[in-house]
């Protein structure tokens, strides 16, 4: 452990280059957050159309538009984070397919094509059968689109905190959490049962994500020295302790409590608050988890 | 052919000759480093000693930076060097996230990734890397790991039991070895890092991406 070796050796770096700062910052947080919404609403729409085909039918076009906007926010932030953004096309010409970035770029491009097809089916053709058929493929492609960022984090060998399959599960939960929260915000006309289902998805996603973060928080340091050192930034007087807990409370704890109260009382009044809290908290949570491994010296 | 480096830390005296030679040879911009020598002080006065550790890219045989690069800007050349094509790099910084040794930086002038290439351009002309030439005590030993008669292979054989790589647990298979190193030199978590002991720490312009933490 870090502290033991320090106490034993009294070793101090007395001359070296400065620690590198954060290279993947809030722009990448925006990227992950927006992508969760973009794919999450598609997953939720698929569920609602299966379970409540008549009552949820009116959401086909609005949720498609939200997905298009969110995915373009994701794409925008992906591109502006590149230090040579005008070379983005290199991925499509020189694609190197051991890289999650290259694979993800192709997947996301396919996903964009499908959501535009959904918009065409719902707005121009007004063909629900076509829409529902395309939606199935969109959901299937949406799963790897959601997951590829987890693969990218797993490929980041330097950042011990980001492990597979944990990150994969967290990405899917982020999509179901943000997707259900968004549907609850825009689906005022949905029947109570549909809203309750979305609330349950929101509450369950929050619970599972919180459980995993807490497991890593408590048990991660028992497995790897680097994880222990990374988590010091969100423990005690760590630089990101406050931000970490703000994220956990807003993203997971508040939604869990409000969803429980809503379901118990058969009322939907609190769900708007739960949804806003989840969406805001998710951003903060993702940001902290993205940034803290970058504060460690790698050499 | 698999080219590799070995640094004999018994010999290194921390003169930073290699660091400067590298800067000059490769025109490494201000505030960024392909190779640098880290000083770590150990013990409590008067029982203290200072250690010097040259740190550069390890040219891993299983390189995470090469794997994560979406456009193969980082690529292997036939002599085992992990080279970089700066014209192809899109600056996604995936490699910066992947390299467990902090060997890659984003060049503030070209806005592309860069790192030690074992002076691939010099090797192509049958010259030794600039840092090897500059080292006054021949602490840097460079050569073909596949050739049992090369200096580096013989050095490794003669010092068996005292040859180490950085972070072997990462499974990167570094082609860069240290003789006479220990936890203090090779594990960044084994020493305290306080601000105020940085080389040119007061630089405010042409900062590398992310600035300095
Ligand atoms: S040390 Fe880092 S930059 Fe060099 S080959 Fe290994 S992973 Fe790549
Ligand atoms: S920054 Fe350049 S070299 Fe590094 S992974 Fe991205 S494209 Fe490849």
The pLDDT, as a whole number, for residue A21 is 81
Contacts of A82 in chain B (CB under 8 A): 90-92
CATH T-level assignment (fold) for domain A25-295: Formate dehydrogenase/DMSO reductase fold (1.20.1630)
DSSP code string of A61-125: HHHHHHHHHHHHHHHHHHHHTSTTGGGTTHHHHH--TTSHHHHHHHHHHHHHHHHHHHHIIIIIS
Q: Is the CB of B101 under 6 A from ligand 1?
A: yes
Report pLDDT digits (tens) over A6-65: 666 789 888 888 777 899 999 999 999 999 999 999 999 999 999 999 999 999 999 999
Cβ of A297 within 8 Å of Cβ of B94? The answer is: no
Which residue among A10, A24, A90 sits closest to B42, beta carbon to beta carbon?
Answer: A10
Nearest chain A residue (CA) to B87: A87
pLDDT band at A122; cut points 50, 70, 90: very high
The pLDDT, as a whole number, for residue B203 is 54
| Dist. CA A52–CA A45, nearest whole Å | 10
A83 CA from centroid of ligand 2 (Å): 10
The pLDDT, as a whole number, for residue A18 is 73
Q: Is the CB of B84 under 6 A from ligand 1?
A: no
- Say yes or no to pLDDT of B202 above 60: no
How many CB contacts within 8 angstroms connect chain A with chain B?
A: 198
Q: From atom 7 of ligand 2, which residue's Cα is the shortest distance away? A: B89
Report pLDDT digits (tens) over A207-258: 999 999 999 999 999 999 999 999 999 999 999 999 999 999 999 999 999 9
Ligand nearest to the CA of B72: 2
Q: What angle do CA B12, B14, B15 make, to 5 degrees?
A: 110
CB B174 within 8 A of CB B57: no
Q: Is the CB of B73 under 6 A from ligand 1?
A: no
Ligand nearest to the CA of B69: 2
Domain B3-208 has CATH 3.30.70.20: yes
ipTM of the complex: 0.92
Interface of A with B in 187-226 (CB under 8 A): 225-226
| Dist. CA A168–CA A166, nearest whole Å | 5
Going from N- to C-terminal start, the domains of chain A cover 25-295
């Amino acid at each position: 452990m870090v502290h033991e070796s320090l106490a034993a050796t009294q070793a101090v770096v007395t001359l070296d280059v400065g620690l590198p700062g954060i290279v993947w910052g809030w722009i990448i947080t925006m990227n992950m957050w927006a992508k969760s919404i973009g794919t999450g609403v598609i997953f939720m729409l698929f569920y609602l159309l299966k379970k409540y085909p008549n009552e949820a039918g009116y959401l086909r076009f609005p949720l498609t538009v939200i997905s298009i906007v969110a995915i373009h926010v994701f794409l925008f932030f992906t591109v502006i984070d590149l230090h040579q953004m005008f070379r983005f096309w290199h991925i499509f010409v020189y694609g190197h397919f051991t890289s999650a970035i290259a694979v993800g770029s192709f997947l996301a491009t396919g996903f964009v094509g499908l959501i535009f097809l959904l918009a065409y089916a719902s707005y121009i053709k007004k063909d629900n059968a076509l829409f529902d058929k395309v939606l199935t493929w969109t959901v299937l492609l949406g799963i790897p689109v959601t997951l590829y960022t987890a693969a990218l984090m797993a490929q980041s060998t330097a950042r011990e905190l980001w492990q597979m399959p944990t990150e994969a599960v967290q990405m899917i939960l982020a999509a179901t959490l943000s997707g259900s929260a968004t549907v609850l915000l825009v689906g005022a006309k949905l029947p109570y049962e549909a809203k309750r289902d979305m609330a349950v998805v929101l509450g369950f996603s929050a619970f599972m994500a919180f459980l995993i973060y807490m497991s890593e928080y408590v048990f991660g340091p028992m497995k790897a020295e680097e994880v222990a050192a990374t988590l010091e930034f969100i423990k005690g007087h760590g630089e990101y302790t406050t931000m970490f807990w703000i994220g956990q409370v807003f993203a997971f704890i508040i939604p869990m409590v409000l969803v429980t109260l809503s379901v118990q009382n058969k009322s939907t009044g609190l769900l708007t608050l739960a949804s806003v809290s989840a969406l805001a908290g998710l951003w903060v949570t993702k940001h902290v988890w993205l940034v803290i491994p970058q504060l460690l010296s790698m050499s | 052919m698999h080219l590799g480096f070995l640094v004999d830390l018994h010999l290194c005296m921390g003169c930073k000759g290699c660091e400067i030679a590298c800067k000059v040879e490769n025109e490494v911009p201000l505030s960024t480093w392909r190779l640098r020598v880290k000083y770590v002080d150990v013990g409590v006065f008067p029982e203290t000693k200072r250690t010097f550790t040259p740190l550069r890219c390890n040219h891993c045989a299983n390189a995470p930076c090469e794997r994560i690069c979406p456009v193969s800007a980082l690529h292997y050349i036939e002599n085992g060097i992990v080279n970089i094509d700066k014209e192809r790099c899109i600056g996604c910084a995936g490699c910066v996230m992947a390299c467990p040794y902090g060997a890659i930086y984003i060049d503030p002038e070209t806005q592309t990734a860069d790192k030690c290439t074992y002076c691939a351009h010099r090797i192509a002309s049958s010259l030794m890397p600039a840092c090897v030439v500059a080292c006054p005590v021949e602490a840097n030993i460079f050569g073909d790991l596949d050739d049992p008669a090369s200096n580096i292979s013989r050095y490794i054989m003669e010092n068996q039991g005292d040859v180490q790589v950085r972070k072997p647990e990462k499974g990167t298979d570094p082609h860069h070895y240290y003789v006479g190193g220990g936890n203090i030199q090779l594990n960044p978590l084994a020493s305290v890092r306080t601000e105020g002991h940085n080389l040119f720490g007061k630089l405010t312009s042409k900062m590398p991406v992310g600035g300095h933490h």
